[in-house]
Amino acid sequence: MSKIVADADGLIKLGKSGALAALLSVAEVLVPEAVYEEAVVTGKREMYEDALELERELREGAAKVIQAVENEQAERLLEHAPALGPGERAVLRVAYESEANAILTDDRAFLGFLAGAGMRALVPAAAIVLLAERGALSVEGAMEALGRIENSIRREVYEAAMEDLAEMREERG
């Protein structure tokens, strides 16, 4: 089973899409405590309706909320990344400590940092396409999920993901 560490942006967008439960069914999703605090605890305090739904999905899907611990590899990278926030810093530590397969994020600055560090990132739109490829979501369900976050992701990413799903639908007949 793949291990995926989620940051707040990726987690919130996948939750809004309705595809988080599918990801939780096929991957081990690790949520650093700092990310949980940002996405769920602060979200509930600020009365974001989706924070309650996100909390429920994470609990029911058995996501692992874990404390980030210092990791030598992560600390070396973080020395050169003062702009990263507490959530991203925790994600990096957990990713190294758990030997995660990918980091779920849609934060452009963090995506650039991860690319420079040679780490595998997974944006929510790509996660939705992968879930359809693996049969965890139907192609139609994946298209609906993408539609729910269309206005919160980059246009070119949305269009590329929809194109991939349209091709998948044609191949499957």
Biggest distance spanned by C-alpha atoms of the chain: 51
DSSP conformation class of 20: H
Q: Is the per-residue pLDDT at 1 higher than 80?
A: no
Q: How far apart are CA 89 and CA 153, in angstroms?
A: 22
Domain 2-124, CATH: 3.40.50.1010
Where are the domain boundaries for CATH 3.40.50.1010 in the chain?
2-124
What would the mean pLDDT of 23-36 be, rounded to a whole number? Answer: 97
Give 87's pLDDT tier (boundaries 50, 70, 90): very high
Could you count the other beta carbons within 10 Å of the beta carbon of residue 118?
Answer: 6
Instruction: Please tell me the pTM assigned to this model.
Output: 0.94
How far is the first Cα of the chain from the last one, in angstroms, to the nearest whole number?
29
